[in-house]
A and B are shown apart, each in its own frame.
Chain A
Amino acid sequence: MILEDHVDIVNEDDVIAGRRKVRMLAAEIGFSPAEWAMLAAVITELSRNILDYAGRGEVLFHAIEDGGRRGIAVIARDHGPGIPNIKEALQASYSVAGGLGVGLRGVKGLMDSLEIISVPGKGTTVTARKWLS
Chain B
Amino acid sequence: MREIAGELQREYSDALRDYLARPNERALRRVYEMGRGTLTDGVGVLGIAALHHQALKDVIPGLSEEIEEALLIKRAEDVFIESLMPFEMSHRAFREAIAVLRRMNERIEQEAKRIAHALHQEAGGLLASTHLALEELSHDLSPQGSERLTLVRQLLDQMDEQLRQLAHEIRPTILDDLGLLPALNFLAKGMSKRSGLAITVEGSTEGRLPPAVETALYRNVQEALNNAIRHAQAGAVAVMVSREARAVRCSIRDDGIGFDVSAVTAANGERGLGLVGMRERLEFLRGTLAITSAPGQGAELLMHIPLEG
Measuring CB to CB, which residues of chain A are less than 8 angstroms from any residue of chain B?
15-17, 19-20, 23, 33-34, 37-38, 40-41, 44, 92, 96-97, 100-102, 105-106, 109-110
Contact = CB atoms under 8 A, between A and B. Distances in A.
A89 B93 CA distance: 14
Interface residues of B, number: 22
B93 A105 contact: yes
B295 to A, nearest CB: 38
Contacts of B82: 37, 40
22 contacts: A19-B29, A23-B25, A37-B28, A37-B78, A37-B81, A37-B82, A37-B85, A38-B88, A40-B32, A41-B32, A41-B85, A41-B86, A96-B40, A97-B40, A100-B86, A101-B89, A101-B91, A101-B92, A101-B93, A109-B92, A110-B89, A110-B92
Interface string B89-123: 11111101100000000000000000000000000
A123 B93 CA distance: 26
B36 interface: yes
Given A41-B86, A100-B40, A102-B86, A15 B29 contact: yes
Contacts of A16: 25-26, 29
Interface in B27-63: 28-29, 32, 36, 39-40
B90 A100 contact: yes
B32 A44 contact: yes
A24 B194 CA distance: 71
B20 to A, nearest CB: 16
A119 B303 CA distance: 53
Contacts of A19: 25, 28-29
Given A41-B32, A109-B89, A20 B25 contact: yes
A92 B97 contact: yes
A52 to B, nearest CB: 14
Interface string B62-89: 0000000000000000100110011011
Contacts of A92: 93, 97
A24 B55 CA distance: 27
Given A105-B93, A106-B86, A44 B40 contact: no
A105 B89 CA distance: 8
A43 to B, nearest CB: 10
- Could you say which of A34, A41, A101 has the most chain B C-beta atoms within 10 Å of its C-beta? A101
A18 to B, nearest CB: 9
- Could you say which of A34, A40, A102 has the most chain B C-beta atoms within 10 Å of its C-beta? A102
